[in-house]
């Protein structure tokens, strides 16, 4: 075989998949948060998840900067926006974290709470600091090219139905259960589609809309801008799409956005939210849900269920891990054996 026709000459060797390291980060956050499931204390749960995630992320071989985190440094002692994370080696990355997507779900023992982390090369994530909320649309690869957030809900439902070869009555739309969505809910019902309401956790909701087998076809509604950027990383891996428009909640935030140079009428596409395809995403279930299973305690140990995704390869892995908490706590330095009093 000549050199020009050899596999090594035609294709570069696969490089390191950081997502397989990141899943240890989300597993630790989920295990820490799971002790608080149903305890009614969402701040306690979030604090435990943050501490677990922050401790484990320091072992990842990267030079990361938190772009989507727990807030500004003055209000968040760990995983705050701008914090440097990782062991300082390797290339530079933007890091988006949500130690618990669904703190209320965790506190109330409700489905679909997850721990999430995503990464893309440095300076490729959209800066969401000016506006906390955005109007969103998300769907999977079958309908990625036919939806338009500027169109009506009915038009998008019909477009998704055509792309998937079914009727609008067979389309299920996931929507955050909020008073602000009253008209949206009516519009979706008038179009004949079904609705799956979620009380929290719209990262999981958007991914459900992009994955087969979840029973969800489309996500619509207003949710957090930071969560929209994390979702964009997932969509890069899944071949789906997210579209958004910034949604200032009051005149003060509107002025702040305009002063920051944002066009509030602009439709932000997946590539606007994350401009690189070299993304990594990991999510671990805290409570059981349609996306992943939750943390389960057995006589022999604890199991976790995670999604691990990479944008460049488009590979999606479902990872089920079995943990012995006494060994893991000693190894990781995070106490995962004690329940909150």
Question: Residue 34's CB: how many other CB atoms inside 10 A?
Answer: 27
Rounded CA separation 218/239 (Å): 14
Q: How far is CA 228 from CA 271, 333, 337, in A?
A: 12, 32, 33
Rounded CA separation 329/324 (Å): 9
94 is in an annotated binding site: no
223 is in an annotated binding site: no
201 is in an annotated binding site: yes
46 is in an annotated binding site: yes
180 is in an annotated binding site: yes
224 is in an annotated binding site: yes
CB 105 within 8 A of CB 40: no
194 is in an annotated binding site: no
341 is in an annotated binding site: no
311 is in an annotated binding site: no
103 is in an annotated binding site: yes
Question: Residue 54's CB: how many other CB atoms inside 10 A?
Answer: 23
Backbone angles phi and psi of 67, in degrees to 5: -100, -40
70 is in an annotated binding site: yes
Q: How far is CA 229 from CA 133, 145, 154, 249, in A?
A: 11, 19, 25, 18
301 is in an annotated binding site: no
- Binding residue positions for Mn(2+): 46, 70, 98, 101, 227
- Binding residue positions: 46, 70, 98, 101-103, 133, 178-180, 200-202, 224, 227
- Binding residue positions for substrate: 101-103, 133, 178-180, 200-202, 224
């Amino acid at each position: 075989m000549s050199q020009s026709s050899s596999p090594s000459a035609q294709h570069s060797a696969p490089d390191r998949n950081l997502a397989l390291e990141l899943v240890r980060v989300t597993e630790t956050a989920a295990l820490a948060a799971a002790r608080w499931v149903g305890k009614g204390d969402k701040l306690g749960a979030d604090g435990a998840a943050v501490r677990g995630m922050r401790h484990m992320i320091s072992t990842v071989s990267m030079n990361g900067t938190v772009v989507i985190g727990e807030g500004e440094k003055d209000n968040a002692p760990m995983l705050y926006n701008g914090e440097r994370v990782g062991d300082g080696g390797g290339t530079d990355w933007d890091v988006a974290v949500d130690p618990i997507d669904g703190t209320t779900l965790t506190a109330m023992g409700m489905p679909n709470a997850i721990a999430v982390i995503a990464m893309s090369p440095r300076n490729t994530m959209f800066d969401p600091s000016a506006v906390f909320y955005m109007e969103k649309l998300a769907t999977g690869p079958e309908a990625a090219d036919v939806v338009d957030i500027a169109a009506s809900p009915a038009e998008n439902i019909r477009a998704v139905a055509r792309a998937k070869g079914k009727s609008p009555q067979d389309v299920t739309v996931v929507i955050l259960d909020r008073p602000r969505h009253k008209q949206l809910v009516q519009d979706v019902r008038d179009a004949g589609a079904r609705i799956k309401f979620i009380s929290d956790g719209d990262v999981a909701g958007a991914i459900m809309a992009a994955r087969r087998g979840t029973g969800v076809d489309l996500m619509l509604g207003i949710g957090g801008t930071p969560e929209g950027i994390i979702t964009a990383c997932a969509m890069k891996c899944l071949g789906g799409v997210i579209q958004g428009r910034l949604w200032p909640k009051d005149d003060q935030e509107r002025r702040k956005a305009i002063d920051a140079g944002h066009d509030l009428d602009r439709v932000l596409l997946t590539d606007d939210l994350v401009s690189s395809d070299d993304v990594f995403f990991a999510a671990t279930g805290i409570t059981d849900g349609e996306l992943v299973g939750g943390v389960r305690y057995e006589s022999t140990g604890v199991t976790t269920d995670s999604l691990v995704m990479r944008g460049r390869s488009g590979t999606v892995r479902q990872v089920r891990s079995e943990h012995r908490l006494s060994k893991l706590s000693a190894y990781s330095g995070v106490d995962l054996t004690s329940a909150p009093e």
